[in-house]
Amino acid sequence: MPRLSDSMEEGVILSWLKKEGEAVEVGEELVEIETDKASMVYESDLAGVLEILVGEGETRRVGEPIANVRPDGEAAPAPAVAPTVEETPEPKGGSEAAGTEPPPPPAYSDHPAAEERVRISPLAARLAHQKGIDLGEVEGSGPYGRIIKADIDRAVRTPGPTAPTAGSETPAASLSGEAAKGEVTTVELSRIQQTIARRMAESKATTPHFYLHTEVDMTRAIEVRGAFEAAAAGGAAIPSLNDMVVKAVALALRHHPRANSTYRDGRIEQFSRVNVGVAVAAQDALIVPVITDADRQDLREISAETRRLADRVRSGEVTPPELAGGTFTITNLGMFGVRSFDPVIHGGQAAILAVGEATERPAVRDGQVVAAHLMDLSLACDHRILYGAEAAEFLAEIKANLEEPGLLA
Q: Give the C-alpha separation, 254 to 348, whole Å.
A: 18
CATH (domain of 342): 3.30.559.10
Q: Considering the domain boundaries, does residue 252 fall inside one?
A: yes
Q: Do 242 and 362 belong together in one domain?
A: yes
Find the mean pLDDT for residues 34-41: 75
**Same domain flag for 78 and 226:** no
Last residue of a domain, one of 90, 121, 154: 154
Task: Tell me whether residue 362 is in a domain.
Answer: yes
pLDDT of residue 159: 45
The verdict on whether 383 is a catalytic residue reads yes
Cα separation, 216 vs 280, whole angstroms: 23
**Domain end (from 108, 138, 154):** 154
d(CA 383, CA 31): 42
Indicate if 135 and 214 belong to the same structural domain. no
Please check whether residue 353 lies inside any domain of the structure.
yes
pLDDT digits 0-9 by tens, 193-218: 888 888 899 999 999 999 999 999 99
Q: How far is CA 359 from CA 83, 220, 226, 370, 371, in A?
A: 57, 13, 16, 13, 10
Does residue 69 lie in a domain region? yes
Q: Answer with the one of 154, 178, 197 that is the final residue of a domain.
A: 154
Examine residue 202 and state whether it is found in any structural domain, yes or no. no
User: Is the pTM here over 0.75, yes or no?
Assistant: no
Number of domains in the chain: 2
For residue 92, what is the enclosing H or E element? none
Is 181 part of a structural domain of the chain? no
Clarify whether residues 128 and 241 are in a common domain: no
Query: Among the options 111, 129, 209, 383, which is catalytic?
Result: 383
Report pLDDT digits (tens) over 129-179. 777 888 877 887 765 577 877 778 777 444 444 444 444 454 544 455 667
Specify the CATH number for the domain of residue 84: 2.40.50.100
Residue 89 is given by DSSP the state P
Domain that holds residue 403: 209-408
Residue 271 counted as domain residue: yes
Are 242 and 349 found together in one domain? yes
Taking 60 as the threshold, does the pLDDT of residue 104 lie above it? no
Higher pLDDT, 43 or 283: 43
Task: Count Cα neighbours of 388 within 13 Å in the Cβ-side half-sphere.
Answer: 2
175: in domain: no
Whether residues 296 and 396 share a domain: the answer is yes
pLDDT tens-digit map of 13-33: 888 999 888 999 988 889 988
Whether residue 150 is found in the same domain as residue 224: no
Do residues 244 and 139 both lie within one domain?
Answer: no
Give residue 84's pLDDT band: very low, low, confident or very high (50, 70, 90): very low
Of residues 74 and 40, the one with the higher pLDDT is 40
Burial of 87 (0-12, 13-18, 19+ CB in 10 A): exposed
Shared domain for 256 and 360, answered yes or no, is yes
